[in-house]
Each structure stands twice: as C-alpha cells, then as structure tokens.
Amino acid sequence: MPDIKITPLGAGQDVGRSCILLSMGGKNIMLDCGMHMGYNDERRFPDFSYIVPEGPITSQIDCVIISHFHLDHCGALPYMSEMVGYTGPIYMTHPTKAIAPILLEDMRKVAVERKGESNFFTSQMIKDCIKKVTAVTLHQSVMVDNELEIKAYYAGHVLGAAMFWIRVGSQSVVYTGDYNMTPDRHLGAAWIDKCRPDLLITESTYATTIRDSKRCRERDFLKKVHECVEKGGKVLIPVFALGRAQELCILLETYWERMNLKYPVYFALGLTEKANNYYKMFITWTNQKIRKTFVQRNMFDFKHIKPFDKSYIDNPGAMVVFATPGMLHAGLSLNIFKKWAPYEQNMVIMPGFCVQGTVGHKILNGAKKVEFENRQVVDVKMAVEYMSFSAHADAKGIMQLIQYCEPKNVLLVHGEAQKMEFLKDKIEKEFKINCYMPANGETCTINTPTKIPIDVSLRLLKAEAVRYNAQPPDPKRRRVVNGILCVRDNRLSLLDIDEMCDEIGINRHIIRFTSTVRFEDPGPSVKTAEKLKTLLSEKLEGWTITISEANISVESVLIKVEGDDDSTKNIYVSWTNQDEDLGSYILGLLQSMVQ
C-alpha cells in the first residue's frame, strides 16, 4: 500500500502560520510557507530544521506551493528561499505573485524599522525571492517534473487565492488554502470539479460556525458605523491593505452614496491606489458582476474614500479610517488605536480574525487595559466590535466542498483543535470517510489503494465486448477478461495469446491428441461423415459444426473418416489440449455409438 504522509509545520490545530509538508510517491511538497504574526522571535517562521537538520534543503523539497498572498501563508517565503537557501521551484497564481511582495515589504518595514528587529530578510531578498516564482493560471496543469503535476482552482478567499490539486502517479491530494464558498462583494465562490482526490486538506477556521446571512452582517456593520459617526465618534477599521479592505470600501462607498453622507472616509497608506490598481488589472479574478460591468464603471474607482494623512489623527469630528495592519499588532492602525481608545464615543471594528498575542486579540477578549512593550498602558473605553467578514468557508461550506470533490480522506488544518474535533465527527458521520487532524510536527500517514497502469489489448477488449453484448443485458453481470500479462521494461500489458506470440516472436507450442475409433459402416466415407454430423448436431446444440467432404470440425476438434467404400472406417478424432473437455466428450460419444 503506497502512503501519503502529511506533517504540518504550522496550521496543525492552530491558525497561526500555514506550512504543511506533504510527501507521496517519493515527492516532497511544501504547501504554503507562512509566518506567525503573534511572535517576534524564531517561532515566527516554520521550523525548517525539521525537514533537514543540516545541509541544503533544496534536495529535500520538490516544490513549494503558495495558496494566496496573506502573510500567514507566504510570509516566510523570502526567509526560506534567501536565508535558508531553498532554490527549487515555487508556484503561485499571477495576482498572488503581483501582490505578495508588496505585503511582504510592508511587513518587513514594520518589523525592521518600527520594532528594530535584526536577522530579518531585506527588500532585495523579497525581490529576488519573487523572481524565482513561477506564476500559474487557473486550471492550467503544470508538470513540475515528469511525475508531479499541479493544478490551481479558484478559491475566492482573496484576489488570486487558489486551491491546488497535486498528483503523483495515481495518488492525488487537494490543498484548499483558505477558501470561501459564498460569493462576496468582489470575489466569486470557490469551485472545484469532481476530481476524487485520495486526500483533501482543508482549512477549518470556521469549523463550527454557520454564519448568518451575509446581507444581515453587512447591514449590521453599516448601521454601527453610521450610528457612531452620527454621534461624532471616530471609527477605526484595521484591515490588511488588500482583500477585505476592498470589499468594505465598496460597501461603504455605495452606502455613503445612497444615504448621501458627508462624513470623511479615509484609507490609510499610500498603497491604496496601487492596491486598487491590482484589482483593476486582475478583474478576471473578481466576481461575475464586477467583471460584467467594469467597462462602464470600475468598482475600484472610489469617489468618497480619500487617502489618509497622519495629521488627521487629531482632527476633531467624526470620521471613518481604514488603517493597516489588520490585527492591531503594529504600524499605523495601532498608533491610531492608542490615540482613540480612551474615548467612549469612538469605535474600533475588527473585520477579521486576530491571532493570539496581538492587541486585536486582546481587546476582542474584553481587555480594558492594554500594555505595550514600553510599559505604556492604554485604557480601552472605545466600543470594540467584531464583525466576521473573513471570507472563510463555514462548516456548511466545508461540507459542500467535500461533496463537490468526493475525497477518500479528509485532513483538517488551519483551525482550532476543539472546533476541528466537532467537524471531524461530522465529516466522518456524514460522508463515512476518514478524517484526520494532526498537530504541528505530528506526521499523519494515509494509505491509498494501489493502482498500476496497464495497457490492455483492444482485440481482447473487443472480443470481451462482443461476448458481453451478446448476452441479455444484466447490469450485475461481471465482465471478465482473460489474457497474458506481459512485463517489459517495467511496463505492464495484457495481451491476447496470439498477439503476445506475434509481439515477442514466440511460436506457440501446440499439443494435440488423436484417437482412432473403428466403425463398421459400408459405403463411401462421406456418407459416414454425414451420419456423424447428424449425431453431433443432435448432441451438441448451439455449437457450430462444419463439414467438408469427410472432415468435420467443431472448434479445434477435427474428425476425419477414412477407409475404403465397403470396409470398416477409421474415424480419427483429434483435438488440442485446450479443448480436452469437448474432445473427450466427442470421443466418448463416438465410442459409445460404435458399441
């Protein structure tokens, strides 16, 4: 039984950083190479020494696949390729390749310039790393080498997010990355065909949630923002520069237009325009509605949303500010938060998931005081709201995906252990398939059935089809082929005997038995033969019996009558070894006739 082995170096029963090792059919593949946003030390990056304690890593990994541009999925890539020294192939989609370096650079700046960290990758390393990336398009089947094939499917989570189907020989795995099964304001829903992989590795961020309707959540969000600004409060929405931000901008933009509101809306960071440009270029990756209308009006040209300047932080009066980064762990959003947190009329809306250790995580858990590295303590009096806009699949969506692609096994990653347990139970009950949830560093082995490619002779198949079709239809009837299995140069073929002989230049050795029966029957031998034929036709109903002069043949059995016109005839019965049953039956028949 060939195995598939999976070892999460990250995302095993947690939502920190995704990095999963997959080995099957002698190939090792790394799925995502993310960094943990909650740590500042070496725990930030996956433990590459697990793969190989010393020496080059390239020989141990056949390829790296990045599912989308979120840093918890691609953040450690420059570290791996430029500092650990991986030089093999890296695959991601075109939008990911375009956007990831911007986010990486953004994070690098925060880490190095603000926090003063050393031993971090440089700008040049990010550029060098991205140069090594091979961009793939959706559904393109890419042969990494002779045996390893990968194919991307639309995942809908962020622009350019993809699920990957990976095949080695007859084994296949689907890795979902993060995905979303309901179309949102700018992206479509994830889609996969019935590819029946041996294993589906799926994220399970919302393993237990079945979210209320999207429209309700949006209304809720808009109502809260509107109420707050009406009272003169300031609304802070920490976001990542790309992804959710664009969706929320579209949402606010249309609302502001409809309600004719005049409160200023700002989008921090000069990245905005550039980011929106990416969305304009890669409009083929957005949802159908935007694709259809973009010629008339590009949804990513915002009228109401203005760029933010740092001096606006202390401006009086209501405003809405989108600021990066999304988990309030550093940067501008954290600065704004520090300024605005102590006032009750203000509000912060966390539109996405926050990893443990970030300020976002703390305030969502109800912390009323937040302490920072420099012993600065901030009172949190502002309203803290959590709105799940994260485009992850919920439990229903995950079940739906399983139904779509019909895997033989499921493995859960990128979720919390408790919630995974629940979903695992549900999957095992509902689909009657095995479900696994390894922790980080734990290897999970999955057996898959052996399937060996074999070439079957068409002659054999056609002969079988003729036999099968001649019988009355019966869907339960088993179809059977008989042939000779040949093994040459490690390749198998199933051939018809004659074909086999032709092909390899072998003459078949034929064994023939002949017996003589003496028969008193005066008259010409042709007459005798006709007599015999009549007898045989009676006894052997359904067989084709041919006669020419004094020779009768049934299948390979030959009967020959010899002798003078007026004397005893010699009847020779001859048959090949295969037709022993028929031959001995006919011989017995003639012998009893003679007596």
Partner 1 sequence: MKLYCLSSDAAKPCFVLSFKELLIMLDCGLSAHSVLNFLPLPPVPSTRLASLPNYTPPHLNDPLLEGELKECCGRVFVDSIPEFCPPLDKVVDFSQLDVILISNYTCMMALPFITEETGFKGQVYATEPTLQIGRFYLEELASWVAGAGGDGAAGAARRWKELLHVLPPPLALAARPRSWRRLFAPASIARALAKVRRVGYDERVDIYGALDATAVSSGFCLGSANWVLRSAHEKVAYVSGSSTLTTHPRPINQAALRGADLLVLAALTQTPAHNPDHMLGDLCVHATVTLRAGGSVLCPVYPSGVLYDLLECLSAHLDTAGLAAVPLYVVSPVADSSLAYSNILAEWVSVGKQARVYLPEEPFPHAALVRAGRLKHARSLHDDTFSADFRQPCVVFCGHPSLRFGAAVHLVELWASNPAHAIIFTEPDFPYLDALAPFQPLAMKAFHCPIDTSLNYSQANKLVRELRPRSLALPEQYAAAAGGAARPHIAADVPTVLLRRGAARACGVRRGLARATLSGALAAHVAPRDVRAGLRAAPLAAALRVRDSRLSLDVAPPPAPGAAAGAAPRLDWAAPDVEALVRALAREGVAEARVERGADGCIVHLPRHDTLVHVERHATHVFCEGDAEVRQVLRRAIAACLPHV
Beta-carbon contacts of 103 under 8 Å, excluding residues fewer than 6 positions away, are 69, 70, 71, 74, 240, 241, 242
Report the half-sphere exposure of 313 (CA within 13 A, side-chain side): 14
Confirm whether 530 is a catalytic residue.
no
Smallest Cα–Cα separation from 335: which of 306, 356, 359, 352?
A: 359
Kindly tell me which of 61 and 144 has the beta carbon lying closer to partner 1: 144
State the SS3 of 286-337: CCHHHHHHCCCCCCCCCCCEEECCHHHHHCCCCEEEEECCCCCCCHHHHHHH
Q: How far is the CB of 506 from partner 1 (least distance, A)?
A: 5
CA 188 – CA 396 distance, rounded (Å) = 17
**3-state SS class at 153:** strand
Beta-carbon contacts of 224 under 8 Å, excluding residues fewer than 6 positions away, are 347, 349, 385
Which residues make beta-bridge pairs with 194?
Answer: none
Q: How far is the CB of 422 from partner 1 (least distance, A)?
A: 35
Kindly tell me which of 160 and 238 has the beta carbon lying closer to partner 1: 160
> What strands, in cross-sheet order, belong to the sheet with 557-562?
545-548, 551-554, 557-562, 569-576
Kindly tell me which of 381 and 408 has the beta carbon lying closer to partner 1: 408
Q: How far is the CB of 462 from partner 1 (least distance, A)?
A: 10
Phi and psi at 146, nearest 5°, equal -60, -25
Q: Rounded to 10 degrees, what is the CA torsion of 214, 217, 222, 227?
A: 160
Kindly tell me which of 114 and 491 has the beta carbon lying closer to partner 1: 491
Q: How far is the CB of 364 from partner 1 (least distance, A)?
A: 34
Q: How far is the CB of 566 from partner 1 (least distance, A)?
A: 24
Kindly tell me which of 278 and 436 has the beta carbon lying closer to partner 1: 278
Q: How far is the CB of 135 from partner 1 (least distance, A)?
A: 8
Catalytic residue among 82, 203, 247, 499: 203
Q: How far is the CB of 461 from partner 1 (least distance, A)?
A: 6
Q: How far is the CB of 482 from partner 1 (least distance, A)?
A: 5
Kindly tell me which of 59 and 578 has the beta carbon lying closer to partner 1: 578
60 with 101: CB under 8 angstroms?
A: no
Alpha carbon distances (Å) from 532 to 315, 356, 520? 117, 95, 13
How many Cβ atoms sit within 10 Å of the Cβ of residue 495?
20
Residue found by looking up tokens 């990831």 in the block: 100
Smallest Cα–Cα separation from 290: which of 247, 248, 352, 258?
A: 247
CA 529 – CA 43 distance, rounded (Å) = 95
Which residues make beta-bridge pairs with 570?
Answer: 518, 562
Provide the residue type at 405 as one letter: C
Q: How far is the CB of 298 from partner 1 (least distance, A)?
A: 9
Tokens of 112: 């190095």
Kindly tell me which of 278 and 404 has the beta carbon lying closer to partner 1: 278
How many Cβ atoms sit within 10 Å of the Cβ of residue 433?
15
Tokens of 183: 């179309």
CA 268 – CA 249 distance, rounded (Å) = 12
CA 405 – CA 388 distance, rounded (Å) = 27
Beta-carbon contacts of 149 under 8 Å, excluding residues fewer than 6 positions away, are 141, 142, 143, 166, 167, 168
Tokens of 266: 């700002």
CA 2 – CA 42 distance, rounded (Å) = 35
Kindly tell me which of 215 and 508 has the beta carbon lying closer to partner 1: 508
Q: How far is the CB of 403 from partner 1 (least distance, A)?
A: 19
Kindly tell me which of 375 and 509 has the beta carbon lying closer to partner 1: 509
Kindly tell me which of 284 and 315 has the beta carbon lying closer to partner 1: 284
Burial of 564 (0-12, 13-18, 19+ CB in 10 A): exposed
CA 93 – CA 160 distance, rounded (Å) = 6
Tokens of 405: 């692609």
List, by residue number, the catalytic residues.
203
